[in-house]
Amino acid sequence: MKKEITFRNAYYIKLGRGGCWEEDSISHSLLRIGWPKQTLEDINTGRWNEIEQQLRVEQAGKPQVATTDLNRLRDISQSTPEDIWITFHGAKLWWARLIPRGVEQDKISKFRRVQDVWSDKSLKGQLLISAELPGKLAQLQGFRGTVCRVREGALLQRVLAGDRSPLALEISAHRERLAVAAKKAIEQLHWKDYETLVDLVFRDTGWIRVSIPGQQVKGYDLELREPITQDKYLVQVKSRASLRDLMESVTQFFPR
């Protein structure tokens, strides 16, 4: 059965200035927030007019910042289990839902509790590595505020479900067809062209050829050097070979 994930809203949150609350929040299943001068009573009873006035005083001369802070605090306090919250920690994306309980506070900060735990995996069990995420999601790590709405909801839904995009599936299908065609082309290469291909493959992966192209040396066709360890390797290239051919080649270097 296909696993699906649905949500009403999706939000990104930066857990503390410079991510200072990331470890604590994730390990204790919390969503830690700031707003130290606002009281729990005002927040949980929805006294938004009073809170707005407090924020305007705090952000004197910056009414836009005060309004943004007010709206983001309201998003956090009114969020339900139907919403998804994401953050980044340890080069991975983490996601969670909040339990239907108000904002609480301890000696560290105010917080909301998370349902179960923060997860760094998709519904299919794949790790959500930041570097492997679509750019439109990964770029949220550079957001300078505390909270923002994730506009790419459908994209986030697909990533959390562990599904590949239609474009990725199409590319994969093309790659498979290309691999089949390349295999047929390689099978038709002349032995000399095949030797050149092997040489190019090794060099493209960082190996250094120290032998002279086309030289005739009994027992091997290429002499290569591994760039890190500087070990030397001798390579014999055969476009077709049986087990007997293999054993004869091995015997040349490791006589019994």
* pLDDT of residue 246 exceeding 60: yes
- pLDDT for residue 256: 65
Beta sheet of 232-235, edge-to-edge order: 208-209, 222-225, 232-235
- pLDDT for residue 189: 84
- Same-domain check for residues 38 and 94: yes
Q: What's the mean pLDDT in 195-208?
A: 86
Residue 36 lies in a domain: yes
CA distance 205 to 194: 17
pTM higher than 0.85: no
What CATH number does the domain containing 81 carry?
Answer: 3.10.590
Last residue of some domain: 115, 139, 163? 163
The DSSP output letter for 212 is: P
Q: List C-alpha distances in Å: 213 to 182, 197, 227.
A: 24, 12, 19
Mean pLDDT of the chain: 89
C-beta separation of 160 from 5 below 8 A: yes
Give me the half-sphere count of Cα atoms (radius 13 Å) on the Cβ side of residue 69: 23
- Same-domain check for residues 115 and 183: no
Q: What's the mean pLDDT in 80-97?
A: 97
Residues in the chain: 256
Give the pLDDT band (50/70/90) at residue 213.
low
Give the pLDDT band (50/70/90) at residue 214.
low
156 closest CA partner among 1, 2, 8: 8
Give the pLDDT band (50/70/90) at residue 217.
low
Helix axes 63-78, 48-58, angle to 10 degrees: 140
- Residue 57 has φ and ψ, to the nearest 5°, of -70, -45
Residue 61 lies in a domain: yes
- Same-domain check for residues 93 and 147: yes
CA quadruple 105, 110, 115, 119: dihedral sign: negative
Q: What's the mean pLDDT in 16-22?
A: 93
Lowest-confidence segment of 10-14, 38-42, 187-191 by average pLDDT? 187-191
* pLDDT of residue 242 exceeding 90: no
- pLDDT for residue 248: 80
Residue 31 lies in a domain: yes
- Same-domain check for residues 188 and 103: no
Which one-letter amino acid corresponds to residue 82? E
Where helices occur in the chain by DSSP H, the ranges are 22-27, 40-44, 48-58, 63-78, 135-138, 153-161, 166-187, 191-204, 243-253
Q: What is the pLDDT of residues 126-170, one digit of tens each?
A: 999 999 999 999 999 999 889 999 999 999 999 999 987 676 667
Which one-letter amino acid corresponds to residue 130? S
How would DSSP label each residue in 132-173?
GS-HHHHGGGG--SSEEE-S-HHHHHHHHHTPPPHHHHHHHH
- Same-domain check for residues 105 and 185: no
Q: What's the mean pLDDT in 62-72?
A: 94
Lowest-confidence segment of 43-52, 102-111, 143-152, 236-245 by average pLDDT? 236-245
| Range(s) of the domain holding residue 230 | 179-253
